[in-house]
Amino acid sequence: MSLAHAIMTAVLDDELTGYELAKRFDTSLGFFWQASHQQIYRELRTLSEKNFLTSRAISQQKRPDKTVYRLTDEGLEHLQAWVHNTTKPRLAKDELFIKLYNLSEDNLAALIDEVRERREHVQRNLSLYCRIREKSYANFSELSTRMKGVALVLDAGIRDAESILLWCDSALERLGKIKAG
């Protein structure tokens, strides 16, 4: 998936400013697709040039004008065609895993700390995902078709986090035995 498709998905239902879009990446889409604010603004310009998005300026009092973006019919057609393409399985790109390939007595304590930190981070995310599910997606059968898709992605995030927590617990147990041995 490209950043362009993530942005077009974000503006599927709403007109958004670049700032609002960046916030969505920080609080929603960003759980599954990361992009810096600079990348988002650069991609907004490109999508506008391709006529996949339109933009319009909105005057504001005591603030600079803001620009809102909306998906065009051409952008919607492109997005729908992309959805029909086959998805490639995601590859794990995890720096911690490369570090574990370099496990030694010298770095054992540091890597144990890093696995603990990973566990804490994933536990926080899991708690957040569960709160979001309870607040907005608890009644799957009552959701719109599109929101059912979002709920399925959230469910994948929850299951992924649960799996990572199991791995962290196992890794910490096994790394602790190296330390004790």
The residue among 39 and 179 whose pLDDT is bigger is: 39
The residue among 22 and 72 whose pLDDT is bigger is: 72
Please give the backbone phi and psi of residue 55, each rounded to the nearest 5 degrees, phi first: -135, 150
Question: Above 70 in pLDDT, residue 1?
Answer: no
| 64 pLDDT tier (thresholds 50, 70, 90) | confident
| 111 pLDDT tier (thresholds 50, 70, 90) | very high
Euclidean distance between CA atoms 56 and 143, whole angstroms: 31
Mean pLDDT of 136-161: 93
Question: Above 80 in pLDDT, residue 96?
Answer: yes
The residue among 28 and 176 whose pLDDT is bigger is: 176
Find the DSSP H helices in the chain. Answer: 3-10, 18-27, 37-49, 73-83, 95-101, 108-136, 145-180
Q: Decide if 67 contacts 57 (C-beta within 8 A).
A: yes
Mean pLDDT lowest among 16-30, 46-60, 61-75, 76-90 = 16-30
Task: Assign 58 to helix, strand or coil.
Answer: strand
The residue among 33 and 58 whose pLDDT is bigger is: 58
Rounded alpha-carbon distances, angstroms, from residue 51 to 43, 47, 56, 69, 151: 12, 6, 13, 11, 30
Query: To the nearest whole number, what is the mean pLDDT of the chain?
Result: 90
Euclidean distance between CA atoms 3 and 77, whole angstroms: 17
Token reading at 149: 């898709």
Q: 80 has which bridge partners?
A: none
Nearest Cα to Cα of residue 54 among 71, 78, 74, 73: 71
- 18-22, 78-82, 85-89: which is most confident: 78-82
Upper half-sphere CA count for residue 132 (Cβ side, 13 Å): 18
Mean pLDDT of 135-156: 92
Question: Above 60 in pLDDT, residue 52?
Answer: yes
Tell me, what's the pLDDT at 31? 72
